[in-house]
Amino acid sequence: MKDMIHLKAPGNWINDPNGFIYYNGNYHLFYQHFPYAPRWGTMHWGHAVSKDLVNWEHKGIALFPTKYEDQNGCFSGSALEHDGHMYIYFTGVHYNKPDPDDIHLCLDDKFESSQLMMVSDDGFQFDNFNGKKLIIPPITDKKIGDRAHTRDPKVWRGKDAWYMVLGSKSETGNGKLLFFKSEDLSEWTMVNSVEKEGLGNMWECPDYFETEGGKVLLFSPMGFINDGKRYAEQSICMNVAFDEETCTMNLSGEYQFLDYGQDLYAPQSTLDEEGRRTVIAWMRMPEAVDGKWNGMFCIPRVVEVEDGHIYFRPHPNVGRQFCRRIESPQEAGKAGYRVSFDLKDGETVNIGGYKIFRKGDRICTDRSEVFCDCGNYRMQFFTPEVKEGYSLDVYVDDNLIEVFVNNGEYVISNIVYGLKKEIFAECMVEIFTIE
């Protein structure tokens, strides 16, 4: 099974990207997967590969529960390359109180989380029965972290050692990060932690990296926007300082959303073939498409920092695909199309029922005509005041619209349903599809 531009659930359910890596000439993207129904449940790692971040091939299931520690799920984690091998780090979940009516769920939040690793010789074979190693047992000291809610190891090479960050929550209900260090990728020692008030109550999927323009932390706090609408959990990013010796991280508290559409979640980054910091993320969908599949990924985005601003630009491999000029969306191929235009104040471009407009210095979107009647979801979105112009590149797929403002100064991405193949624009637009 193959996908182009956007990797989608091969059926049933997917959530977070996991183990995103360029390894031995292929991009590998694993992901949280429930293979039995289009809803969340006992987590497996699904697996897809690509030569170019554009064409994806599904490879089936890579990781599945086999041990006491991961009996109820192989939760999110990361991958790295060392001495030609692929090292995988993930969280194993064990339910202390499974729901007797639905063993894929747990009652009263009663579960424990351990951190496990596995080494694959080629990135295609995974020894689920004999290859898993427990590296960090459940945290039992509440002062350190939460026994249930400590997860999502991201591992990276520092100057003289390997480092791991885990997302957790503090005794007082703040989000928290735990830092570990290793000389050999297998024995891990906790070095430090950091927490902060006012940024949600549990920090999922932390990711730390250095770019030319500065050091960046991505994370996904739960309970971040508490207005009763979906989603309360949001992914944010910030400039940080990190000292390897002491694993001290300073969080200023000033943040940007990764994406102002509020559907994007659990981003994970890696370095691409050319050394660009590239991030991919889960696009949350309230309803399965045709009752069959739920969940897809955004197009990969290159992260750059300039003067403290964190940019998320469409990956050039994807951007350059959309080069055949067309007159109408009717002429577009299966992988969708791109619409490019400049917006004056007050102008609207209506893409199949999805409205994009400018109000002063903000770019705004409204999906109310192309969404399901499925609960308390937000319909209107807007960027902060833009500084670099009003130039938009909009990537349109059947169920996802990604609006890049000024080549990634800000992004608004929204899940949509029932988009029409037409455009009404109050300004000049150019439409491009794939050759």
Token pair of 64, please? 């599945």
* Residue of 5, 7, 29, 43 interacting with ligand FRU (CB under 6 A): 43
Query: Which residue, 31 or 410, has its beta carbon nearer to ligand FRU?
Result: 31
Query: Which residue, 174 or 365, has its beta carbon nearer to ligand FRU?
Result: 174
**15 sits near ligand FRU (criterion: CB under 6 A):** yes
Are 429 and 340 a contacting pair, CB within 8 Å? yes
Q: Site size for ligand FRU, by CB under 6 A? A: 13
Helix and strand tally (H, E) in the chain?
A: 1, 37
What is the nearest approach in angstroms of ligand FRU to the Cβ of residue 230?
14
Query: Which residue, 75 or 257, has its beta carbon nearer to ligand FRU?
Result: 75
What would the x/- binding string for ligand FRU be over residues 80 to 119, using CB under 6 A? -----------x----------------------------
What is the nearest approach in angstroms of ligand FRU to the Cβ of residue 407?
28
Nearest Cα neighbor of 382 from 347, 357, 354 is 357
* Residue of 20, 23, 75, 95 interacting with ligand FRU (CB under 6 A): 75
Q: How many whole angstroms separate alpha carbon 177 and alpha carbon 249?
A: 9
Within a 10 A sphere around the Cβ of 428, how many other Cβ atoms? 8
Q: How many whole angstroms separate alpha carbon 193 and alpha carbon 337?
A: 44
What is the nearest approach in angstroms of ligand FRU to the Cβ of residue 114?
12
Query: Which residue, 76 or 406, has its beta carbon nearer to ligand FRU?
Result: 76
**16 sits near ligand FRU (criterion: CB under 6 A):** yes
Angle at 367 between CA 363 and CA 372, to 5 degrees: 160
Enclosing H/E stretch for 250: strand 248-251
Q: How many whole angstroms separate alpha carbon 393 and alpha carbon 396?
A: 10
Q: How many whole angstroms separate alpha carbon 426 and alpha carbon 429?
A: 9
CB within 8 A of 118, min separation 6: which ones?
A: 63, 87, 88, 90, 126, 127, 128, 131, 132, 133
Strand partners, 354: 351
Are 352 and 423 a contacting pair, CB within 8 Å? yes
Are 393 and 407 a contacting pair, CB within 8 Å? yes
Enclosing H/E stretch for 311: strand 309-314
Query: Which residue, 14 or 54, has its beta carbon nearer to ligand FRU?
Result: 14
Query: Which residue, 15 or 433, has its beta carbon nearer to ligand FRU?
Result: 15
* Residue of 32, 115, 268, 413 interacting with ligand FRU (CB under 6 A): 32
What is the nearest approach in angstroms of ligand FRU to the Cβ of residue 196?
18
- Site residues for ligand FRU, 125-184, by CB under 6 A, read 151-152
Query: Which residue, 16 or 146, has its beta carbon nearer to ligand FRU?
Result: 16
**395 sits near ligand FRU (criterion: CB under 6 A):** no
**205 sits near ligand FRU (criterion: CB under 6 A):** yes
What would the x/- binding string for ligand FRU be over residues 235 to 274, using CB under 6 A? ------------------------------xx--------
Q: What's the distance, CA 240 to chain centroid?
A: 20
Residues at the site binding ligand FRU, with contacts judged by CB under 6 A: 15-16, 32, 43, 75-76, 91, 151-152, 204-205, 265-266
